[in-house]
Amino acid sequence: MNATHSSQDAILRIRDLSAGYGLVQVLQSVSLDVRTAEFLALVGGNGAGKTTLLRTLSGLLPVQSGTIEWNGRPVGGLTPDTIFRLGIVQVPEGRQLFPRMSVQDNLLMGAYRRDDKAEVRADLDKVYGLFPRMAERRRQLAGSMSGGEQQMCAMARALMARPRLLLVDEMSLGLAPIIVDQLMENLIEIRDQGVTILLVEQDIHLALAAADRAYVLETGRIVREGPARDLIEDPELKRAYLGV
């Protein structure tokens, strides 16, 4: 959809980024652009460095070298809270809900930095429209729901923060295909509402079928990039990841 745009349109620009854990370098000179209101997928096998990239973008891991720019502003080295306030919001792997709180209280935690109460209420209604099952479960304890419902809750909570860029980490993990298809439709609708999405996903076919563009990460390096519809037909990727 946005494949003809140039990197000038990038809301997030990463150049030669290296990062990791202590002395262990996981990402090696990674460069990528995320464009305004696009659905970008970052795909690759387990251990490729996908989650490390998201953790670095969120400020949870330090930048070892290279740059991260958000709307032209360097953000590498900022605190997670500052990055969150800029509108970069993550749906973490494993959901990380408050299991003993109700669904609605979990959603309101997404808006804890906001003091525009009327707007928060309007956003809550909007989120319930996007995830009707959350409206049905609003008084239920989050920890008592199914895995798929908990993933919906985590996505809905992130939306309550009014993200400009939504980082989604391994959304499909452990979920039934029918639930994953529904969640992917939700993500497309969120993108259509103007929120930029960066999805990190091990299920390459699933991600490429939904995304506008994609990057393929292998052992900490970008090895392919392009329109998702082109990558899904790439013979080498088919052989390496799809068993075709």
pLDDT at 40: 97
pLDDT at 242: 61
16 lies in some domain: yes
Residue 221, strand partner residues: 218
Q: Which amino acid does the sequence have at 174?
A: G
179 lies in some domain: yes
Phi, psi of 85 (to 5 degrees): -65, -25
205 lies in some domain: yes
- Say if residue 68 is in the same domain as residue 117: no
Q: DSSP 3-state assignment of 221?
A: strand
198 lies in some domain: yes
**Burial bucket for residue 236 (CB in 10 Å: 0-12, 13-18, 19+):** exposed
- Say if residue 101 is in the same domain as residue 82: no
Residues 6+ apart with CB under 8 A from 24: none
- Say if residue 44 is in the same domain as residue 102: no
Is pTM beyond 0.85? Reply is: yes
pLDDT at 238: 75
**Burial bucket for residue 87 (CB in 10 Å: 0-12, 13-18, 19+):** middle
pLDDT at 202: 84
- Say if residue 144 is in the same domain as residue 169: no
What is the Cα gyration radius of the chain?
A: 17
pLDDT at 34: 96
pLDDT at 9: 82
Residue range(s) defining the domain that contains residue 31: 7-87+163-242
| Last residue within a domain, chosen from 140, 159, 178 | 159
Token couple for 195 = 């929120």
Q: Are 74 and 82 in contact (CB under 8 A)?
A: no
- Say if residue 155 is in the same domain as residue 168: no
The 3-state DSSP composition of the chain as helix, strand, coil percent (nearest 5) reads 40, 30, 35
Distances (CA, A) of 80 to 8, 21, 54, 76, 102: 26, 17, 11, 10, 25
- Say if residue 54 is in the same domain as residue 100: no
- Say if residue 24 is in the same domain as residue 135: no
pLDDT at 8: 60
pLDDT at 205: 86
- Say if residue 151 is in the same domain as residue 220: no
Distances (CA, A) of 31 to 4, 6, 231: 18, 14, 18
- Say if residue 148 is in the same domain as residue 193: no
When divided into structural domains, the chain yields a total of 2
- Say if residue 57 is in the same domain as residue 121: no
2 lies in some domain: no
| Last residue within a domain, chosen from 159, 174, 193 | 159
Average pLDDT of each block of 10 consecutive residues along the chain (244 residues)?
54 96 93 96 91 94 96 93 94 83 95 86 95 96 94 95 94 90 94 95 89 95 94 83 59
| Last residue within a domain, chosen from 135, 159, 183 | 159
Count of helix runs (H) and strand runs (E) in the chain: 10, 10
- Cα separation, 156 vs 238, in Å, equals 33
